[in-house]
Structure 1
Amino acid sequence: MALSLRQRVVERLQSLPDTQQTARELAQWIFEQFPAECAVKKAGSASYIKTDDDLVQQLVAEISGSRPRWQEMHPQLKTTEGRPRHYYWSELDATAEVAAAEGVALVTSDLPEPSRLREHALYPLLAEYLLTDEQRVYAMRINEKRSSNRAGIGGNEWLHPDLVGLEDLTADWMSDLRDCVRVMGDRRARLWSFEIKLLLNRSNARKSFFQAVSNSSWAHFGYLVAATVEGDGTLKELRMLAAAHGIGVIQLDVQSPTESQILIPARERSDVDWDMCNRLTAENADFAEFLGRVRRFHQTGEMAAREWEANE
């Protein structure tokens, strides 16, 4: 019996609602569940498929290569951006997916039942990624509920980022050099700002991007962060917007935060917009605390790591 790869992939994803699978996970499942069909495929391709590992790798390649054609045949077959790409099945259209995002189940094969995430659960995961050697950014939550709202309903809409961060540029410097730069008044840190979403797709990509533009325009770096970036068209749209406005995009790996990826690097701004910082400070006690930590870093030249712990 010939192996119908498309049929098997569709059946597998349909049986796992709200679950994301990589091409390799799909290929491994097919290899384990359909040994007879896989043996026929292996025997018919003996010239280049010599081992079981070769066969699984071939299935991975065929799934990846067939994806665009399969998605034309099955609009419900969705994929994420980033590497590795994840596949999942959804009967919802793009708008409905965004509306249901808070109910998206992001699971791994280790979990027997879906583990549902809320947006606020992504904040500590992003903070963990930002502390890796690649970034070294200390992050802090900005809770919009601590704002004064003195401007009335809608007055602070799109004003607050979800997280802010401080990057210590002197972390690897000798103490004498740090002291010298502090005396000379040169820059020793960069400030980051983050807007976080569970899901970005063609329905909400532009709106979410301009929300990040609005609430991150004060910082050296502004990023839009998402647990799932769905489809090639979404990332293409975000790249065009990023070229014009400089906001970057991060794909957050909720299972292994340190493996998260910067899909689009942010364009650095040379100066902080202190007028906007003053507005944020006047409106939000968390942001005032953040600037207090920035000030203490510049005064002492040291990062008080305890200050940045448990920012929920």
Structure 2
Amino acid sequence: MTFLELAEKVLLEVKRPLSSSEIWRYAEEKLYTGELGSQGKTPWATLGAQLHVSARDNEKSPFATIGSRPKKFYLKKLKYDKDLLVEEDLEVSGEVEDTMRYSERDLHALLAHFIFYTMESYSKTLDHTKTSKKHYGEWIHPDMVACHFPIDDIKPEVYDLSMAINESPIGFISFEIKKKLSFGNLRESFFQAVSNSSWAHESYLVTSEISTETEFLRELNRLCNSFGIGVILLDIDDPNDSEIFIDAEQRDELDWETINKLAINPDFKDFLVRVKKDVESREIRKEWYDKVESRESLIKFFEKKKG
């Protein structure tokens, strides 16, 4: 069974719009996920990405979407109660700016949770105030960085050999965070991400609010395809519904010149030192990375931000 066939099976049974995370959880409860031909490390993220692409780019797709926070999927061929669709649209597409009072900085904890549980990586927030801008100007470094340690997934002999021949399986990820993405700030936000994030194996522009205008999404997709930057959509109502909206391009090599430039920031320098020690010891010291808040505490925090 493919991911899209799995989603269609679930939606046929439930007969109401569901987010990709809700589809995955239902499939797990029914043991349908065991029928997938291939899953990978983050199958729920793969499911979300394939559903978004199918509904957005394929006119013959069986899926349609409603709302944006999170986006929910339903089957075109089913006859839904119109009142149900209106209710769902109001529920997930309310005007966030009028009811929510959270800052861009508040999203760091939400992203750290996503990085740890979905991307299986360890993050580090970079404090911009610690960086001198006199040498390089604006857009010096990203908001957060992360490292993926496949230590538990690789046999010690294979891991040691990869390190010996300079083909490390370690993966670095870079993140630029914006509270909202729309035509008004797309180009500045995007090229800020390009400027300070393309040093890593993967680079992402992260947001909690994204415009659903067709022309905006088309331009965002074009830019991502051109520069290899991915997009992560955070869900402030439920961290587990956050998802990779557009996949990032995987790069084989790191940009060491840019890494050297970023090391003027003390937090980034500490991150590099910590990763080196963890790689050498094959033991990850979680306390040296960003604290990962629980789903419940994050939900409670953002609930308090509601007006």
Give TM class, smaller chain: 0.5 to 0.7
Aligned mates of 1:23, 1:137 — CA distance in 2: 25
Partner of 2:63: none
Q: Which amino acid aligns with 2:186?
A: A
Aligned mates of 1:225, 1:23 — CA distance in 2: 16
> Match for 2:111 among 109, 112, 126?
126
User: Residue 124 and residue 213 in structure 1: after superposition, are their counterparts in 2 closer, same or farther (change >3 A)?
Assistant: same
Deviations 1:28-65 (A, max 9, x none): xxxxxxxxxxxxxxxxxxxx99xxxx74xx4234678x
Asked if the contact 1:179/1:301 (under 8 Å) is kept, the reply is no
Matched, 1:207 2:188: yes
Matched, 1:186 2:167: yes
Asked if the contact 2:230/2:248 (under 8 Å) is kept, the reply is yes
> Match for 2:262 among 258, 280, 284?
280
Aligned mates of 1:181, 1:122 — CA distance in 2: 35
Give the TM-score normalised by structure 2. 0.64
Give the TM-score normalised by structure 1. 0.63
Aligned mates of 2:141, 2:282 — CA distance in 1: 27
Partner of 2:127: 143
Deviations 1:70-94 (A, max 9, x none): xxxxxxxxx9xxxxx932349xxxx
What percent identity do the matched residue pairs reach? 32
Q: Which amino acid aligns with 1:210?
A: F
Instruction: Give the match's secondary structure for 2:106.
Output: helix
Aligned residues: 220
Asked if the contact 2:122/2:290 (under 8 Å) is kept, the reply is no
What pairs with 1:13-162 in structure 2 (closer than 5 Å)? 55=81, 58-61=82-85, 86-89=92-95, 104=97, 114-132=99-117, 134-151=118-135, 155-162=136-143
Partner of 2:59: none
Partner of 2:229: 247
Q: Quick check: which has more Rg, 1 or 2?
A: 1
Deviations 1:91-113 (A, max 9, x none): xxxxxxxxxxxxx35xxxxxxxx
Asked if the contact 1:161/1:215 (under 8 Å) is kept, the reply is yes
User: Residue 184 and residue 197 in structure 1: after superposition, are their counterparts in 2 closer, same or farther (change >3 A)?
Assistant: same
Partner of 2:241: 259
1:290 Cα deviation after fit? 1.1
Gaps of 5+ in 1: 1-19, 25-47, 68-78, 80-84, 91-103, 106-113
- Let me know the Cα RMSD of the aligned residues: 2.9
